A and B are shown apart, each in its own frame.
Chain A
């Protein structure tokens, strides 16, 4: 089914472990985004990508690494997870990144760091 998918949907890990969250879209959208959603903060941009091999930092990039070797995939890696990274992570995509483009969100990954 076409759209934007995230995996896993739920993940529990321990402090210090590496975790990778996957995002896949079937629309061939140029732009992809990672946001985190926390109570009291709303959604905040972590990283985004304008195209394959082009990435840039958002508002809260520390502790995260991204890559984009293929247009359809945009994985987010927590190299050494911390409790403060417990959150719900949303991936989004938009067609071209124009100011009027809609960002379409995936279903989210709920991450707990113990």
Chain B
């Protein structure tokens, strides 16, 4: 079992829909949780960063962490075609230097 599981998709939704992206993890040592967005042939860019259970909102994006269930989510409201990208969840243990990534979910927003 991989430490971080993420459905690779593709996930296709119509413009304006609410998108839900999820990751599960098995290692309770993960304390810091991130969502990166990656456009085709580009490097990942950080979208959201959280280190506590609960919700964190930034514009149309909401990150949710449930440490008791080892489950994290990213919600995108009012989705736009420009949101079409691969979304990577990433996690970090306290004191660790590198990140552990999920495989990424390929999201397609249909105009």
B31's closest neighbor in chain A, by CB?
A99
Interface residues in A42-81 by Cβ distance below 8 A to B read 42-45, 48, 50, 56, 58-59
List A contacts of B71 (CB < 8 A): none
A100 and B49 in contact (CB under 8 A), knowing A31-B97, A42-B88, A44-B101? yes
List B contacts of A104 (CB < 8 A): 46
Residue of A45, A59, A99, A106 touching B43 (CB-CB under 8 A): A106
Bin the interface of chain B by size.
20 to 34
What is the number of residues of chain A that contact chain B, defined by CB distance less than 8 Å?
Answer: 27
A102 and B97 in contact (CB under 8 A), knowing A42-B102, A42-B103, A43-B88? no
Does B92 belong to the interface (CB within 8 Å)? yes
A48 and B97 in contact (CB under 8 A), knowing A40-B103, A106-B43? yes
For the complex, what is the distance from the CA of A33 to the CA of B103, rounded to whole Å?
Answer: 18
Residue of B32, B95, B98 touching A33 (CB-CB under 8 A): B98
Q: Enumerate the 9 nearest inter-chain pairs by beta-carbon distance, A residue then B residue, closest first.
A: A105-B43, A45-B98, A42-B103, A43-B101, A42-B101, A105-B44, A107-B43, A102-B46, A48-B97
**A interface with B by C-beta (< 8 Å):** 31, 33, 35, 40-45, 48, 50, 56, 58-59, 90, 92, 97, 99-100, 102-108, 110
- Whether A100 contacts B51 by the Cβ 8 Å rule is yes
- Whether B43 contacts A108 by the Cβ 8 Å rule is yes
Interface residues in B54-111 by Cβ distance below 8 A to A read 88, 90, 92, 94-104
A41's closest neighbor in chain B, by CB?
B103
A90 and B98 in contact (CB under 8 A), knowing A41-B103, A100-B49, A102-B49? no
For the complex, what is the distance from the CA of A55 to the CA of B41, rounded to whole Å?
Answer: 28
A59 and B95 in contact (CB under 8 A), knowing A42-B88, A43-B88? no
Interface CB pairs A-B, < 8 A, 7: A41-B103, A43-B44, A43-B90, A45-B99, A99-B51, A99-B92, A103-B99
